């Protein structure tokens, strides 16, 4: 794939090649000079390096022209180089004038401020809802629970009853799983309710269609009752997971559920009742559980999480070891077969809590929303351990016991998504804010909206400028690859640093970063350092081998920079034959028709001047000479610039 963004200024060399491929040996000959492009002077400080900016990197593209190049192609190449430089300069001007890196880039002031303001708004909204004088009527809550799922499937699959039915079949299994989850939940087991608690509010239409929870044990009781027996006898025993067991296992589980003693003991253990863990409890006699609370929590976690000692689980209560497996993740499910997937698998899949499982049940995006259907199932359905979920908090009618709390999600993204999800159900599940709080909420929301609008607009402008760089660089790339235009097309890099009175320059060819040319200049004496010129780790040049430059000089008055590269072993620094296309026919982003032998024993001498374009873009302009035995045999125009945006 072509790396257009790294395409910089063109170093254009016109080379005369002999029939044998080696450049003709030069004798004292005159060279027609190429005029240096005119640029205004901006500052005297060479490379514009300061204590706060100790290094600058330049990028460019070296195009070694074919003598037979068409003048029109050459004009196109030079224009593309000018356009590319202009695009880079305009981008740098935009980023500097807008403090883009500080304000608008990823992790910048705007992004952090927006995220902080969203969290603050979510906190304010939660507090405002707690103090609102209004409540959502029970009838409204029930209507929302009864209608949302069908409406949601219609949103996802408009008019496609087959897709809706297929999705509902999977969600039905999810609803069955939520029954198993609530039936083994400690908070549920230990409390009394005035109405049968729902395992998941949005599943109520499914439960009704399947005839679940119809027995007397599930009837309302304003005075309060425990619905543990209802959840098992009228819920668990009707689910697809229960029916997937063989007849013998079904008979044993049914007998346990229908036996008040066994069912009561199971409820007491899940509800962490003291009587279940002290002598003469059957559990104590079996020596599976100790008398302290730590062991009780440990046992309860075994039932829910099924770790390696799952042999102690519900078998300790009922003697039915088959119940132990239903609460474990399989993680290797290959299909939606109930015999292969556990209730936890289905919950993780529909609530989007496991990526591998979630792929088994893909859903379309919700129209015009960043919130997915699985986000909604997760937000309302996910129970963290024995804690309640959001559906429990909104729909369960507790008679006594500790009130339900707003769930806390481990996934930090739900701290952001929560308010958006709740806004989807505004006034359907959540009370309206008081007028004063609503005014504050709207003002804060508008502030966030204004910041986001500015943030997105600036980022779009930045992307537009970057696209100009891509387009202009692509044009130069296209011209350079035209027939008879160039013998070589290579991307070059130059990095310069000023640390502790030493000016260092590194030069290398893209894709040959392992070897770099290095030169050092003592700024106090203005002389090149020949002994002890080593790379500074702070410059972060990733070469493993450094070759000394033949010459390096910076004129203190004019700022002219001279840098010479000697081709003793051209191949190791990238001056060698490189194909234009791969064996599969893909075009490479650089090439050289010349071999290492064509460069051997010659040098490339740069004569450059540092300047600025638009007041911000660091640029080096000037000439480059191909030399042999001290004689200039070819000349080039050079334009490089800082490509760090």
Q: Identify whether residues 247 and 372 lie together within a single domain.
A: yes
For residue 330, give every residue at least 6 positions away whose Cβ sits within 8 Å of its Cβ, in sequence order, or none: 340, 341, 342, 345
Residue 412 covered by a domain: yes
Q: Identify whether residues 416 and 493 lie together within a single domain.
A: no
For residue 466, give every residue at least 6 positions away whose Cβ sits within 8 Å of its Cβ, in sequence order, or none: 5, 91, 645
Q: Identify whether residues 411 and 493 lie together within a single domain.
A: no
Tell me if residue 484 falls in helix, strand or coil: coil
The per-residue pLDDT for 2 is: 37
The per-residue pLDDT for 47 is: 58
Asked if 181 contacts 347 with a C-beta cutoff of 8 angstroms, the reply is: yes
Peptide bond into 280 cis (omega under 30): yes
Q: Identify whether residues 408 and 521 lie together within a single domain.
A: no
Task: Give which of 641, 575, 638 is closest to 602, Cα–Cα.
Answer: 575
| Rounded Cα–Cα distance for residues 639 and 88 (Å) | 12
Is the four-CA dihedral 571, 577, 579, 583 of positive or negative sign? negative
Residue 106 covered by a domain: no
Q: Identify whether residues 420 and 509 lie together within a single domain.
A: no
| Rounded Cα–Cα distance for residues 338 and 590 (Å) | 56
CA angle centred on 634, ends 632 and 638, rounded to 5°:
105
C-alpha gyration radius of the chain: 37
Residue 479 covered by a domain: no
The per-residue pLDDT for 32 is: 40
Tell me if residue 28 falls in helix, strand or coil: coil
Asked if 521 contacts 551 with a C-beta cutoff of 8 angstroms, the reply is: no
For residue 243, give every residue at least 6 positions away whose Cβ sits within 8 Å of its Cβ, in sequence order, or none: 250
Tell me if residue 619 falls in helix, strand or coil: strand
Token digits of residue 61: 């593209």
Q: Identify whether residues 391 and 493 lie together within a single domain.
A: no
Q: Identify whether residues 248 and 394 lie together within a single domain.
A: yes
Summarize pLDDT for 231-250 with one digit per residue, the tens: 999 999 999 988 887 787 78
Query: How do the residues of the chain divide into helix, strand and coil, expressed in percent and rounded to 5?
Result: 45, 15, 40
Q: Identify whether residues 253 and 365 lie together within a single domain.
A: yes
Residue 75 covered by a domain: no
Q: Identify whether residues 357 and 235 lie together within a single domain.
A: yes
Residue 231 covered by a domain: yes
Asked if 605 contacts 566 with a C-beta cutoff of 8 angstroms, the reply is: no
Beta strand pairing call for 515-522 and 545-548: parallel
| Rounded Cα–Cα distance for residues 512 and 453 (Å) | 43
The per-residue pLDDT for 369 is: 86
Task: Give which of 104, 453, 494 is closest to 445, Cα–Cα.
Answer: 453
Task: Give which of 49, 128, 65, 52 is closest to 430, Cα–Cα.
Answer: 128
Token digits of residue 266: 């199971």
Residue 4 covered by a domain: no
Residue 126 covered by a domain: no
Helix segments in 65-137, DSSP class H? 71-97, 100-103, 109-131
The per-residue pLDDT for 194 is: 95
pLDDT along the chain (645 residues), means of 10: 39 39 32 40 48 78 81 88 86 91 92 90 82 82 93 95 95 94 85 95 96 94 94 93 82 82 76 54 39 45 41 42 44 48 85 84 89 94 85 91 76 72 86 86 90 93 92 86 86 87 89 91 87 91 91 81 88 89 81 87 87 76 82 74 72
Helix (H) or strand (E) holding 412: none
Asked if 296 contacts 275 with a C-beta cutoff of 8 angstroms, the reply is: no
Choose one of 431, 455, 481: the last residue of a domain: 431
Number of separate domains in the chain: 2
Tell me if residue 635 falls in helix, strand or coil: strand
Q: Identify whether residues 355 and 209 lie together within a single domain.
A: yes
Helix (H) or strand (E) holding 186: helix 186-190
Residue 409 covered by a domain: yes
The per-residue pLDDT for 116 is: 92
| Rounded Cα–Cα distance for residues 126 and 363 (Å) | 30
| Rounded Cα–Cα distance for residues 205 and 168 (Å) | 11
| Rounded Cα–Cα distance for residues 453 and 41 (Å) | 38
Asked if 442 contacts 125 with a C-beta cutoff of 8 angstroms, the reply is: no
Task: Give which of 463, 453, 451 is closest to 94, Cα–Cα.
Answer: 463
| Rounded Cα–Cα distance for residues 485 and 69 (Å) | 5
Buried b (16+ CB within 10 A) or exposed e, 441-461: beebbeebeeeeeebeebbeb
Tokens 């909204």 locate to 125
For residue 632, give every residue at least 6 positions away whose Cβ sits within 8 Å of its Cβ, in sequence order, or none: 26, 31, 605, 625, 626
Choose one of 382, 406, 431: the last residue of a domain: 431
Q: Quick one: CA torsion of 75, 77, 81, 86, rounded to 10 degrees? A: 60
Q: Identify whether residues 183 and 251 lie together within a single domain.
A: yes
| Rounded Cα–Cα distance for residues 59 and 4 (Å) | 12
Choose one of 431, 463, 481: the last residue of a domain: 431
Q: Identify whether residues 419 and 558 lie together within a single domain.
A: no
The per-residue pLDDT for 615 is: 72
Q: What are phi and psi of 631, to 5 degrees?
A: -105, 140
Furthest CA-CA distance within the chain = 112
Polymer length of the chain: 645
* pTM of the entire predicted model: 0.55
The per-residue pLDDT for 206 is: 96
The per-residue pLDDT for 38 is: 45
Range of the domain at 569: 56-66+489-642
Phi-psi map region of 629: left, alpha, beta (phi>0 left; psi -120 to 50 alpha): left
| Rounded Cα–Cα distance for residues 510 and 290 (Å) | 68
């Amino acid at each position: 794939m072509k790396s257009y963004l790294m395409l910089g200024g063109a170093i254009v060399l016109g080379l005369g090649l002999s029939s044998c491929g080696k450049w003709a040996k030069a004798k004292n000959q005159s060279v027609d000079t190429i005029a240096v492009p005119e640029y205004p002077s901006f500052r005297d400080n060479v490379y514009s390096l300061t204590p706060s900016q100790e290094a600058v990197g330049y990028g460019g593209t070296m195009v070694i022209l074919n003598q037979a190049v068409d003048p029109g192609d050459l004009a196109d190449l030079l224009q593309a180089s000018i356009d590319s430089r202009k695009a880079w300069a305009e981008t740098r001007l935009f980023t500097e004038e807008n403090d883009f890196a500080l304000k608008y880039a990823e992790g910048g002031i705007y992004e952090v401020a927006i995220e902080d303001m969203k969290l603050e708004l979510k906190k304010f909204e939660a507090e405002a809802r707690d103090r609102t004088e209004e409540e959502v009527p029970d009838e409204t809550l029930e209507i929302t629970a009864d209608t949302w799922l069908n409406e949601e499937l219609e949103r996802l699959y408009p008019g496609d009853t087959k897709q809706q039915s297929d999705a509902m079949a999977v969600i039905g299994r999810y609803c069955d799983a939520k029954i198993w989850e609530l039936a083994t939940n400690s908070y549920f087991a230990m409390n009394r309710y005035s109405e049968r608690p729902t395992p998941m509010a949005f599943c109520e239409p499914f439960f009704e269609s399947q005839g679940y929870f119809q027995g007397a044990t599930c009837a309302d009781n304003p005075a309060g009752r425990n619905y543990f027996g209802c959840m098992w006898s009228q819920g668990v025993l009707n689910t697809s997971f229960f029916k997937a067991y063989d007849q013998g296992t079904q008979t044993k589980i049914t007998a346990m559920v229908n036996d008040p003693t066994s069912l009561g003991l199971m409820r007491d253990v899940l509800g962490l009742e003291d009587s279940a863990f002290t002598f003469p409890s059957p559990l104590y006699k079996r020596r599976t559980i100790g008398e302290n609370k730590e062991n009780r929590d440990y046992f309860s976690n075994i039932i829910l999480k099924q770790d390696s000692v799952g042999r102690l689980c519900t078998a300790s209560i009922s003697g039915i070891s088959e119940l132990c497996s239903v609460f474990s993740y399989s993680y290797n499910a290959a299909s939606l077969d109930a015999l292969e997937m556990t209730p936890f698998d289905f919950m993780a899949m529909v609530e989007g809590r496991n990526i591998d499982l979630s792929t088994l049940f893909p859903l379309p995006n919700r129209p015009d929303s960043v919130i997915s259907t699985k986000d909604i199932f997760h937000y309302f359905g996910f129970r963290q351990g024995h804690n309640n979920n959001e559906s429990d908090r909104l729909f369960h009618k507790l008679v006594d016991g500790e009130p339900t709390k707003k769930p806390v999600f481990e996934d930090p993204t739900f701290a952001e998504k929560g308010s958006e999800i709740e806004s989807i159900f505004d006034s359907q599940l959540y009370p309206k804010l008081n007028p004063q709080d609503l005014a504050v909420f709207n003002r804060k929301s508008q502030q966030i909206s204004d910041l986001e609008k500015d943030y997105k607009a600036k980022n779009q402008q930045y992307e537009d400028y970057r696209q100009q760089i891509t387009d202009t660089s692509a044009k130069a790339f296209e011209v350079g690859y035209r027939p008879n235009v160039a013998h070589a097309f290579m991307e070059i890099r130059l990095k310069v640093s000023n640390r502790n009175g030493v000016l260092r320059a590194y030069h290398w060819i893209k894709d040959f970063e392992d070897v770099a040319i290095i030169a050092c200049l003592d700024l106090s004496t203005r002389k090149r350092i020949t002994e002890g010129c080593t790379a500074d780790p702070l410059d972060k040049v990733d070469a493993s081998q450094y070759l000394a430059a033949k010459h390096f000089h910076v004129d203190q008055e004019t700022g002219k920079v001279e840098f010479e590269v000697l081709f003793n072993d051209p191949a190791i620094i990238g001056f060698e034959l490189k194909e234009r296309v791969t064996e599969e026919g893909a075009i490479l982003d650089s090439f050289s028709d010349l071999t290492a032998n064509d460069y051997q024993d010659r040098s490339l001498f740069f004569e450059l001047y540092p300047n600025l374009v638009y007041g911000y873009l660091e640029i080096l302009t000037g000439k480059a000479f191909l030399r042999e035995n001290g004689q200039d045999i070819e000349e080039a125009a050079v334009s490089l610039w800082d490509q760090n945006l």
